[in-house]
Amino acid sequence: MELTHINDEGRAKMVDVSEKNDTEREAIAKGSIYMKEETLKRINDGGIKKGDVLSVAQVGAIMGAKNTSHIIPMCHPIMISGCDIRFNLDFENFKIDIEAITKTVGKTGIEMEALTAVSVAALTIYDMCKAIDRGMVISDIMLMRKSGGKSGVFQH
């Protein structure tokens, strides 16, 4: 497989997508943040001094998706038509599972936006809870599914 972000001189370039057709595209990413049992309980009970952790993480994730091209150097700016963030509190494993679903109609994929959304949600949770639990672990951020475009469907 050829690397498309490298020019003839071996230097980085942004891929030219001007000739590609607009298609419906969707990406689903997930990740987890592990924490102490007490931290998870306090998030669930609204006992974090900085506020409603999951609401702030949800807004942060959406903002992250919208700003992906500003922090990933070769990522194209994309008109995002939808971004949904879901959380599952797992009291058996003391973690929060995060899922991001992003959608667009465009010339290039929206995978990086979904991955960024999950990452920012996890980082926001960490930031809001670090005063009581600096040992939290962000883990397993991955693309679960993507559809649309020339390469079709990818399923993890």
Q: Does residue 127 have an active-site annotation?
A: yes
Question: Which residues, 6+ apart, have CB-to-CB distance to 55 below 8 Å?
Answer: none
C-alpha–C-alpha distance, residues 139 and 156, integer Å: 16
CA dihedral defined by 13, 102, 129, 136, rounded to 10 degrees? Answer: -70
Strands (E), the chain: 23-34, 80-90, 95-106, 137-147, 154-155
Q: What SS3 state is found at 127?
A: helix
Question: Which residues, 6+ apart, have CB-to-CB distance to 92 below 8 Å?
Answer: none
Strands 137-147 and 95-106: unpaired
Determine whether the annotation assigns residue 113 to a binding site. Answer: yes
Q: In whole angstroms, how far apart are CA 10 and each of 5, 6, 7?
A: 9, 5, 5
User: Catalytic one among 16, 22, 84, 127?
Assistant: 127
Determine whether the annotation assigns residue 79 to a binding site. Answer: no
Determine whether the annotation assigns residue 128 to a binding site. Answer: no
**Active-site annotation, residues:** 127
Binding-site positions for substrate read: 74-76, 112-113
